[in-house]
Structure 1
């Protein structure tokens, strides 16, 4: 019966089945339209294989692969392997190599296929020769060298800077993905909820079969260039990127760091930056000295004719490229195409593969301008297993030559990136504005990264990672840490436990608080710190540009003269010290700071500090009492000081960590000037003085010879009767860690000055010597040479030896002096080191050259430092 309950139940079940079938068909059609359209209409075809000599079976490096009747093609690599991806219904593919017969093969559109080709020698091109042995490569009377020299001679006229005005539109994208992931890795239980993230590609290309896209950024800009006076303005029209939770990752710093690794490649520059190193361009002025060049083909199928120039390093371990150039024979000798890679023996840390392709188009003035640049690099810890593959593609169009703009367009700094204040662009804008479509693996990155933020297990992983690497545990509006300071020890406090934290932007975007409390079980005293910071630009006080004021109070211990970079002073690892380390201070410090940064990278800091320092441990403040003609102890030294710091760091970039900014070095110097004035009679201030300090730091890039970090500093203290704790206490180091800004064999409080000049040089050879030693080059070790020199002195009015009313210098238990002023001889120390041990450790043998008669000093020492280099 139709009205029976059983019949109605069967009807409902039947109706649900019909609805499920209909829904399935709708979903199937949707996915067919969404994903199948590209495969059906575009007919994506991937072809890969190896090209070899049919007789000798040897591979043919840099052979040509071309789709007949088009300009679509690629080059085989140095081992004859090739891979090409086609969009369309092409049915033929052509292979060629100079001196060999051309081969044409049939391809099947829409399928991945492997085509290995054996090319036979073209006997008509052979002439009778008498072989007398292997010819030695020479530059003299070498047609390939003569041709590359013409390219070098015409460099200036072929660069953009040869024109008075140039403007064009530039589109760039940079994507990163975890690469070379095995099927076993992908199928692990931990990734059960993340299968939607993985993508597959041809296994012969860089990155392997399985990839996990993780990052994407796109930018569309209009570029305006003027030759005289020089100006280059980049007006950003649109910008978007995959954003991670700001509690865990500095998205701005991440973008900056990736852009630094994947910089623009201008082959006309003498040096090309690759992952913080400089590689000599194959058309640098000195290129024939370091490269070997060979004419490997002449392409007559287009006008003007092109000559294919292959090049390799004379020494395959040097920081040099290898690849091919295609040079025009039209009198300009410009580069129309370039393919760059590096030898596997090159000492680039973590890099497993590199491939750069440059394309140029002929402009209205007959020269060739860049039309497309692609740089792909894969980083990994070893030759096998997972890695990180990144690719940056930049395209250029709508060139206009020698069209001047209004003067207002060129106003401001010589080089500047200007951002459009408009809101975020919608997806339709990007679809219409991209010069090239996104790759298949890139399409879903934005959505997938947003989805990741909602998965609890991913949040938990990021939380644990932040705790391990940054030292903070996030609890909503609070962060607890840094954990590496929770436990430490020293001779004064014994075992020291500390606990602290700070607020986050989730608490307030304007108001920030930070605090900690610590307890020493030997001195049985509490130490503490509290600060409040107010942001004046409604931005985080940890992100550029800073604009805030801060008030703080600290009651804690300190080693006099100890100034550390990128590490907390009560870090557990720094608890281990050499020699005597029992001269400490108890400080009570009240501080006010006002900080302002500008987009030009000029910044300043105004401050007021009032502190009282009491000697602790074996440290004693003493002076002669003229009335009793004996020594008296000084329990406390009070001081009030106003200060100003000016800093200019042109084009500075960095990654913002939880505690510090991690700078990304560039070629520009960093200038710092500090002025401090002691105010006697104000808030218990006991001393009047004026202290001036200047510092210049610069990295010098030396191409394949490495780079050198040079720091010069000087200071002058104006004032009389200044107690030695307020003099310049030169930065010493009694830990076993190598410290860049300290003197690593100087004892704490060993030298003080009221005027000084110093020079520090850290020269990193990047394996230039080790790469030529067979047993060492496989380890990819790198050489480091360093020198530190300090010249200074102490005027009579501030020297306790000439002014008995001053605090006398420290003395050891046996009565010998422990603190000195520098005399006519500068303090000097140097070191030689091996870096890149296990790809992250540097070990130095340090030698102290003079002042060896001072008590408790070491002439030699071994110091280590964790240093991650690319």
Structure 2
């Protein structure tokens, strides 16, 4: 279940059962429609501004506009790219139909019937697309040596037609439901719940390739930070409704990459048809229509205007996704991009408009919209190198909360969204609801400066402690934004021992400790039982659900760990983490460690001193965070990690001298119509003579810095393999219904294919293999006297899975099979796995 879908559904529920305090609206409602004077087509996105005031709006996708004024008539200016500006008198009585003149005329109009017979051969539309593809590199924005411009963004989310039953509840506080936004969706009313405006200066350079977006003005709605991390909402909405570029091979939309109609492989998946030839002040253009060859594939349909001046640049494009495409929770996606020529013939992006309706075709639930306008282009001035320092997207310190000279005025509904949210935060019903939602979703109960949790770790069970009861919590920014603490106390009813953990971190740069780029020192202390190979941490694998997994650990160390660390992040998403730790481990229960050189000598204690350095680079990374815990938003960019550990012997009873190095890379590969694949590769080597419990154990779940490099083996037993040099491989491929969409009986079900494989190849050096060395420890035995751990002897471990996703839009069923090392007893050969999988 993705965070995005949960967030949208959670916010929707919160607003359905909460009340808004009303604002006073003007009483005169003036509505009308804007059309093209020549064709009669209704025009979307036309700026509508009341003269002599800052009031205004824009026409919706059907050309309609609504003004709420304190007067019954007004003089209004209508303007749109490609059309002459017009001033018209509008009144409450209407009708107010405003016709705009295109800066040119439409000539040689032709209509082509789209029939069942279609061929790319001798098709003039395909020949034109070939030319567009050929000249893409010259026409795209990034093809310029340097460029800078001003970018205005407006993003908003709203609930569509709150249920009539709710209307009576809202009326108890005199909420004016009749005055909700009626512009965004024709025939619908939208209750705004999130809005954000940014005015930024954007810089781009081709050689070396780099970019910078400095947000200088920003206004956005914010909720109670005790329960909702406002930057996470902003990150997710900007991720789902991010800017698009028709020149990209695929267009990122709703967590998916959708093949562009002018992609190199577009002719394989799209049909193209000539529609019109258009001539205006900007030149002569050919208009094409494109549709998917298979309407169930995740592809756009729409129209494209191409310049006929020899550049074959795109002038305008409309992109649409409907409910027939294999995409969940979405009834419609509409995109419009407009380009205009500049000096030198370059066709640069003027504006983009993205509108998404969440829900079914007949039962829309939420509406999201993003408008971006580019202006003030400069392709000549040099860009100082200092501009590109820091993160690629940066909000300047003390950012202005005033947007000067908006390209499109806010409607009265949009202006009131900010005030409504501020009032909402003080509503008792809303506060109670959001606190309950936070407890369910995050597992923490908030007490302002401190919160208790996580809920799922309160009770668990294992073979040493029996019933384990744990109470823990963490601080919140209300206590301090520059310091963070978390900890727990745990007690086992069988071993009657009290365990504990405490971690604290303090900012070193005077900023919020959780914000990017971070710089802090941290320290922790832990007394608890840990499985061999697991590193100390707050979440040590003792959740309620871990108590029931098939390959849960049964061997334990009583561990006392002390750690001091330092983390510094840089604006280019490169970070350095260093730490020193001292860990004492003592065997407990039936865990036995016998010397390989003396079968009569048992070893109970394994102590280490360890210096650690982790280098991490995650270019263009975006993430969700809560305190110091981060979760990367998986996009196309890779994440690299290199880790080095040095064992220091000779003090604090630590006899082990070793060197360890590990490198990892993970990346999501977007494969156009073949879905996407997540690939992770990790390799490492250990130098030194060590007991096998200090070697690498592939099935011990570690807390990675971002979770991107974790590879889980479902059918590998705990402690089954150990190695001092190894390679791990993980591959998961989601085809997004590419095969099932071609099967008539299955295509209606919108099922999706998934498959994957995980591999591990490790070797144990002779000096660390208890069968060959008398300086280490024998492998412990199970109840039948067989070794729990083994070396691979040159044979890699593989397991693979295949399954069906999107069953009833919420379930995933997979079959997992162990492919190698199947000859051993007490292992699982295969299993079925059923899980929740809710995504777009």
What interval of TM-score do these two structures reach, taking the shorter chain for normalisation? 0.7 to 0.9
CA gap 1:760/1:140 in 2 versus in 1, 3 angstroms = same
> Whole-Å Cα distance in 1 between the matches of residues 110 and 361 of structure 2?
41
Q: What are the Cα deviations for residues 241-281 of structure 1, in whole angstroms up to 9, with x where unaligned? A: 11222221222222122111112111112211112211111
Per the TM alignment, residue 423 of structure 1 is displaced from its structure 2 partner at its CA by 4.6
Residues 647 and 658 in structure 2, CA contact (< 8 A), matched pair in contact too: yes
CA distance in 2, matches of 1:866, 1:561: 30
The verdict on how the C-alpha distance between 1:565 and 1:789 changes in structure 2, with shifts beyond 3 A counting, is farther
1:844 and 2:814 correspond: yes
Q: Are positions 1:433 and 2:412 aligned together?
A: no
Other-structure match for 2:483: 511
Q: Distance in 1 between matches of 2:174 and 2:734?
A: 42
- Paired residue for 1:209? 188
Q: Which fold has the larger relative contact order, with Cα–Cα distance below 8 Å and residues 6 or more apart in sequence?
A: 2
CA distance in 2, matches of 1:753, 1:443: 62
The Cα shift of 1:806 comes to 1.9
Partner of 2:644: 675
Report if the CA contact (8 A) 1:45-1:109 is conserved.
Answer: no
SS in 2 for 1:728: coil
- Corresponding residue of 1:854: 824
- Counting only pairs closer than 5 Å after superposition, residues 425-464 of structure 1 correspond to structure 2 as 425-426=401-402, 430=403, 432-464=404-436
Distance 1:193 1:563, change over 3 A: farther
Instruction: Specify which of 112, 120, 126 is matched with residue 145 of structure 1.
Output: 126
Q: Within 5 Å, which residues of 2 pair with 1:776-855?
A: 776-855=746-825
Q: Does 1:395 align with 2:344?
A: no
In the alignment, is residue 417 of structure 1 matched against residue 393 of structure 2? yes
State the alpha-carbon separation in 1 of the partners of residues 656 and 347 from structure 2.
Answer: 68
Alignment of 1:352 with 2:331, yes or no, is yes
User: In the TM superposition, what is the alpha-carbon distance from 1:540 to its structure 2 partner?
Assistant: 4.0
Deviates further, 223-232 or 495-504: 223-232
Distance in 2 between residues matched to 1:822 and 1:585, nearest whole Å: 24
Cα separation, partners in 2 of 1:530 and 1:868, compared to 1, 3 Å: same
- Are residues 445 and 194 of structure 1, via their aligned partners in 2, closer, same or farther at CA, if it must alter by over 3 Å? farther
- C-alpha offsets along residues 522-543 of structure 1, whole Å, 9 cap, x if unaligned? 2222211122322223344443
Deviation at 1:324, TM superposition (A): 0.9
* 1:616-695 matched pairs, under 5 angstroms: 616-623=588-595, 626=598, 630-657=599-626, 660-695=629-664
2:381 is the counterpart of 1:404: yes
1:764 matched to 2:743? The reply is: no
Contact 1:319 1:703 in 2 (8 A): no
Q: Write the distance in 2 (CA, Å) between the matches of 1:539 and 1:801.
A: 54
Contact 2:504 2:522 (C-alpha < 8 Å) held by counterparts: yes
Aligned to 2:259: 280
Q: How far apart are residue 608 of structure 1 and its match?
A: 1.6
1:474 is the counterpart of 2:446: yes
- One of 334, 343, 350 as aligned partner of 1:371: 350
Deviation at 1:704, TM superposition (A): 1.5
Number of residues of Structure 1 aligned to a counterpart in Structure 2 = 771
1:851 to partner: Cα distance = 0.9
How many Å separate the matches in 2 of 1:168 and 1:490? 60
2-side partners of 1:578 and 1:144: how far apart? 58
Q: For the residues of structure 1 that align with 2:588 and 2:178, how far apart are their CA atoms?
A: 59
Q: Which aligned pairs between 1:37-52 and structure 2 lie closer than 5 A?
A: 39=29, 43-46=30-33
Equivalent position of 2:674 in the other structure:
705
User: Does the 8 A contact of 1:514 with 1:530 survive in 2?
Assistant: yes
SS at match of 1:295: strand
Measure how far apart 1:125 and its partner are: 10
Q: CA deviation at 1:343?
A: 3.4
1:730 corresponds, among 680, 684, 698, to 698
Q: In structure 2, how many angstroms separate the alpha carbons of the residues matched to 1:633 and 1:207?
A: 78
Q: Is the 8 A contact 2:110 2:275 kept in 1?
A: no
Which among 175, 186, 200 is matched to residue 195 of structure 1? 175
TM-score, normalised to structure 1's length? 0.82
Change over 3 Å in CA distance of 1:581–1:303 after alignment to 2: closer
C-alpha distance after superposition, 1:74-117 (max 9, x if no partner): 59xxxxx97222479999x9xxxxxxxxxxxxx996579999xx
Alpha-carbon deviation of 1:452? 1.5
Counterparts of 2:539 and 2:764 in 1: how far apart (Å)?
31
SS at structure 1 position matched to 2:26: helix
SS in 2 for 1:757: strand
* Larger deviation, residues 563-572 vs 348-357: 563-572
One of 17, 20, 35 as aligned partner of 2:26: 35
Question: Does the CA-based 8 Å contact 1:519-1:527 persist in structure 2?
Answer: yes
Matching residue of 1:583: 555
CA distance in structure 2 between the aligned counterparts of 1:192 and 1:774, rounded to whole angstroms: 51
1:400-455 deviation per Cα after TM superposition (whole angstroms, max 9, x unaligned)? 34x22254465548x833443345334xxx2x421111234311121111112222
TM-superposition CA deviations, 1:790-810 (whole Å, max 9, x none): 111111111111123421002
**C-alpha separation between the residues in 2 aligned to 1:679 and 1:197?**
69
Deviation at 1:220, TM superposition (A): 0.9
* Shift in CA distance, 731/541, structure 1 to aligned 2, threshold 3 Å: farther
CA displacement at 1:817 relative to structure 2: 1.7
Shift of 1:649: 0.7
User: Which of the residues 234, 257, 262 maps onto 2:236?
Assistant: 257
Q: What value does the CA root-mean-square deviation take over the aligned residues?
A: 3.4
C-alpha displacement at 1:726, in angstroms?
0.7
Structure 2 contact 135–313 (Cα < 8 Å) conserved: yes
Mark the runs of 5 or more structure 1 residues left unpaired by the alignment. Answer: 1-29, 48-64, 76-80, 94-106, 116-123
Contact 1:843 1:864 in 2 (8 A): yes
Distance in 2 (CA, whole Å) between partners of 1:565 and 1:372 is 48
The CA deviation at 1:838 is 4.3
- What displacement does 1:558 show? 2.1
Alignment partners' CA distance in 2, 1:163 and 1:635 = 66
Which residue in the other structure is 1:487 paired with?
459
**Distance in structure 2 (CA, Å) of the matches to 1:850 and 1:566:** 34
Write the distance in 1 (CA, Å) between the matches of 2:619 and 2:142.
22
Deviations along 1:687-715, whole A, 9 cap, x unmatched? 11111111111111111211111111111
Measure, in 2, the Cα distance between the counterparts of 1:574 and 1:198: 50
After superposition, the C-alpha distances for 1:140-159 in whole angstroms (9 at most, x for unaligned) are 11222222223223323322
- Distance in 1 (alpha carbons) for counterparts of 2:596 and 2:584: 21
